[in-house]
Amino acid sequence: MRQLFVLDPLRQINPLKDSSAALMQAAERAGDQVWASTPADLIALGDVPWVVAAPVVTDPWVTPGARERLALSEFDVIWMRKDPPVDEAYLYASHLLDVAERAGVRVLNRPSALRAWNEKLGALRFSRWMAPTLVAGRVSELIGFAQEQGEVVLKPLGGRAGLGVIRVRAEAPGLKALLELVTEQERMPVMAQRFLPEVRDGDKRILLVDGDPLGAVNRKPQEGEFRSNLAVGGQAEATQLTPREEQICAALAPALRAEGLFFVGIDVIGGMLSEINVTSPTGVREVERLMGVPLGDQVIALLHALH
């Protein structure tokens, strides 16, 4: 099998932590040809999609070969693993990958689903599994919600890795001014969720592959911090799924499969679904290290079985 990974420049990737590196190395161990490009390397000549990509030897990380111009139809699988933000460049790349999908190439995750499933808003499809949540741009609506809940977490809809996430009490003296700031004077909606004190025990990242949970880690926030993202200092620890978490995964599975979301990371706090990460979910390395599970190899083996 020949696999293309569309991702950030290879020099920016830390193979000891990066899930894309784990998947690439697992593909190479499975005997697949591994190629790499950035979104800027995608081309459409009429209705024929092309890419300028380099073959790579990924173990040890990483030795790229000479770049070549290839039709995307020469690849069996294309992974879209570019990190957010989901900006104009990202969206245009997803449209170019649509052309490859129409040519019969399997793109993971499906480009149309990457556009449709905002990592905050996508979870609203399963709001019965979530803490009370409001998405709004009007300050009055957000203030009313905060007063109902007592304490809320504010999340920018385009954020990642915990950046820009704020915890605030309804009686905070500068709440109105803060909401004016985060909504850019009511021009941009934000997500507000009831603060869950259970986050002190961790925020569980569960990795679902073709709808099934294959691995999970618990991420505990640092002392004095409520955000548990690894990028802001959260510490990963081994964990097991609870019955409720298994129910959440089962509830999501049909929609994920139907929409071509093959590799997904969901976040669960205190038994409540928080986010559904579809762009470039992380956690493979942590699962492999803490749980002793060869998760990357399992993902590639499942991909081979489905191909």
Find the catalytic residue in 81, 106, 110, 155. 155
Task: Please tell me the distance from the alpha carbon of residue 300 to that of residue 296, in angstroms, as a whole number.
Answer: 6
Q: Is 155 a catalytic residue?
A: yes
In degrees and rounded to multiples of 5, residue 289 shows phi and psi of -75, -45
CA distances from 232 to 14, 205, 225, 229, 276 (A): 16, 15, 9, 6, 19
H runs (alpha helix) in 66-211:
88-102, 111-116, 139-149, 175-182
Find the catalytic residue in 18, 275, 286, 288. 275
Which runs of E-coded beta strand occur in the chain? 2-6, 33-37, 42-45, 48-57, 63-64, 68-71, 77-80, 106-108, 133-136, 151-156, 166-169, 190-194, 203-209, 212-220, 235-237, 263-269, 272-277
Task: Please tell me the distance from the alpha carbon of residue 262 to that of residue 107, in angstroms, as a whole number.
Answer: 9
Find the catalytic residue in 18, 245, 267, 288. 267
Q: Is 151 a catalytic residue?
A: no
Find the catalytic residue in 110, 120, 204, 285. 120
Q: Is 227 a catalytic residue?
A: yes
Find the catalytic residue in 82, 194, 204, 227. 227
Find the catalytic residue in 106, 277, 285, 288. 277
Q: Is 286 a catalytic residue?
A: no
In degrees and rounded to multiples of 5, residue 301 shows phi and psi of -60, -40
Find the catalytic residue in 205, 210, 229, 245. 205
Which 8-state DSSP code applies to residue 109? S
- Three-state DSSP class for 216? strand
- Three-state DSSP class for 175? helix
CB 76 within 8 A of CB 103: no
Give the pairing of strands 263-269 and 235-237: unpaired
Find the catalytic residue in 82, 106, 219, 285. 219
CB 271 within 8 A of CB 244: yes
Q: Is 205 a catalytic residue?
A: yes
Q: Is 204 a catalytic residue?
A: no
Reading the block at residue 92, the tokens are 């245009």
Catalytic residue positions? 120, 155, 205, 219, 227, 267, 275, 277
